[in-house]
Structures are given as structure tokens and as C-alpha cells.
Structure 1
């Protein structure tokens, strides 16, 4: 149980750091001038949600609940890993890639389809960019969880 929680915390931390490096640094920018907000093809509705309509998303003004929530998702993902990993080929990398794929397809691909595409009318090229960010995030989390879970303890 303890190892699963530690793996989840590592996964949550990896997810937060990868989001910081992708969405925050490149996508939205530290000054609000990232490609997802400044691209001329971007949906005005999405830009308004992130920059104008009050209250702004928590992650913009009060990110701590989101950071902590992602840590909890990491713990949940680690418990999922624990329940399915024995059916996957042995080894950190094969299991990490399967976990990353599971996270990406079950969470992030669904999110992009349902919210930015469906609700905000975001154009497909920017959704493709966001999906590449999500691949990085899912991979970071999957590797962190698999690495902790597959380590042999003395």
C-alpha cells in the first residue's frame, strides 16, 4: 500500500512538472503570451475562458488545489497500475508505456475531444499541439509510477 501511494505521489509530481514545462511554459506562457492564447486561429471562446471570463480557472489564480488534485489523480493511477501491471510484459519501460497509453487515451484524449473541441471550438492544429503536450505529461507520469512500483526493495 505504501509503495503504491509513493508511486502515485511520484506520478502526480511528474504530471505537475510536465504540465509546467508544456502548457505553462509553451502553451499559455508565463506572461499569457503562449501559443495557445496568441495563435490567430485560436477560438475566441477559449481565450476568453482563460483570460477574461470571471472567475478565471483556478489553475490561473489559485493553482494549489489543482496541483494537489493532480497528486491525488497520480495516487489513483498508481492503484490502477497495481491492479493491471501483472498482465503486462515485465519491465519498467514496457509497463510505463502501457500505463502512459492508458492515462493518455482514457483521460487526456477524452478531455481534448469533449472540452476544447466540443465546447470551445478549438481548431484541430492547436488540439494536436495540446495532445502532444498530453503525451509528454502521460509519459512522465507513467514512467514515474512504473519506476517506483517496479523497484525492488531490500
Structure 2
């Protein structure tokens, strides 16, 4: 149930103990662990990324807080490691670790984060999006159904 929309994913992580700000959008494909150490600011967007306050270094387990600031975003396939943060208003470039600074935290990377796109209106989803998805699913079932029909109509001897 919680994986059906980005808002429900944010509520799910909040129920698990993460500090989630209002209006934060978290992708269902993202991986968030050790929820009590995760802070996501208001209006932040987490694409298909990993927020892991846990790591192993030189045989020692490291647990540290992870923070994504207000109106910041974490791009696809990024990793936010323990004791690091994405500052408020910054946008971590796709496929970068949180240790990257400088160009990887540029504001221009916001346009590549799907969680920062405006959401479609509900009536557009219901009357345009869902019918198209169901039509495509129905069309994908036609070839096996046609083969089944031919098998049934075949005169067996």
C-alpha cells in the first residue's frame, strides 16, 4: 500500500521514525535505512537513491546521521553516506556520492530529478493516464489470447 505513491512512501518512512519535512517526496525505488538517523527537509525530493546512515570502514561499523536540507534533492543512483548532508537548496547530481562537493551540488541538477517535477492533476491521471496504462496492458495480453483461441478452434484428431 505504501509503495503506490511518493506521498505514502514519505508517510511510511515517517512512521518508521525518520524525520520527514512537509511536502517531501521520496521515490518508492529509493532505499532508506536506519530511519531514526535520517532527516529529509521540507520540499525535498529523493529520487531512486540510497540514504544509508550505516557503513563499514576498516572493519568498523559506522552509524551517523544523514540529512537532506529543505528544498534540496538527491538524484538517481546517488548514495548519501553517514555524517554527510545535502545542504538546503542544493541538488546532488545523478550517480554521485554525498562526498562530492562543488559542481555535483549545483542548482542546475534539479531538472534531472523526477521528484522535483510538478505532479499531474488528479483528473488527468484518472481520465488520461490510467486508461492509457490499462489499454497498453490489454494490448500486451492479445498475442497469447490469440494463440489460445487458435489452439481451441483447431480440429484435433
Range class of TM-score, shorter chain? under 0.3
More contact order relative to length (CA 8 Å, sep ≥ 6)? 1
Higher Cα Rg, which structure: 2
| TM-score between both structures, scaled by the size of structure 1 | 0.26
| TM-score between both structures, scaled by the size of structure 2 | 0.26
In terms of fraction of residues, the more helix-rich structure is 1
